[in-house]
Amino acid sequence: MNKTFWPIFWQNLIFNRVSSESTNTKQGVNSLGKSTISNKVIESQFDCFCKKVLKNKARDCFIHEKRHREHEIPFSSLTMQELESLYTEDVYSLDTHTFQVLGFEIQVRDWLLGEAISMLTEQRQIITLLAYSLGFSDKQIGEIAHLVRSTVQYQRKSSLEQIKKYLE
């Protein structure tokens, strides 16, 4: 573009704007050359459009939240049985010690504890495992092992002390 074009262009633009403002001010035309009535219509249409967009977005959010509430349950409202069914635990035979006690197979998952129990005599293993794994009372263990209750109690307590010393 040549150097003389720009000043002429700006002069024509300014001249046309000034002449159109002076002739159209009585007809409701603003400085940009558009009628004020159409600006108000455009503003109200834009306002209506914005309101529709916000209304539809709010509706979509409510529908999304409702769908989540219908299909999701918070962990705090689950029962213990339902919580336990949500996870599994890998158990390897190398990590467990298995003991046979009166036809029961008792697995001790803690390797160090299993080693401590295996260091006990067979009778003390039976008493300890029946008492702490299967929940037998001293009287019941005495009847099974043909021992007096006080003997079962003494051996159980001394076995527990041996296990504690081994674990320390």
pLDDT at 50 over 50: yes
Which pLDDT score, from 0 to 100, does residue 29 have?
54
Tell me the β-bridge partners of 26: none
**What integer is the mean pLDDT of 7-28?**
49
pLDDT of 80-112, one tens digit each?
A: 888 888 888 776 767 788 888 888 888 888 888
Per-residue pLDDT tens for 113-152? 888 888 988 889 889 888 888 888 889 888 888 889 999 9
Mean pLDDT for the stretch of residues 26-49: 70
With beta carbons less than 8 A apart as the criterion, state whether 114 and 96 touch.
yes
pLDDT of residue 32: 59
- Around 138, how many Cα atoms within 13 Å sit in the side-chain half-sphere? 10
**How would residue 61 be classed by pLDDT, with cut points 50, 70 and 90?**
very high
Is 78 a residue whose pLDDT tops 80?
A: yes
Q: How far apart are CA 116 and CA 167, in angstroms?
A: 7
What φ, ψ does residue 150 adopt, rounded to 5°? -65, -35
106 touches 134 (CB < 8 A): yes
Residue 70's pLDDT is 86
Q: Where does residue 123 rank: exposed (0-12), middle (13-18), buried (19+ CB within 10 A)?
A: middle
> Nearest 5°: phi and psi at 98?
-110, 130
Rounded CA separation 3/6 (Å): 6
Rg of the chain over Cα atoms, rounded to whole angstroms, equals 45
Partners of 105 in beta bridges: 100
Q: Answer yes or no: is pLDDT of 16 > 60.
A: no
Q: Give the pTM.
A: 0.47
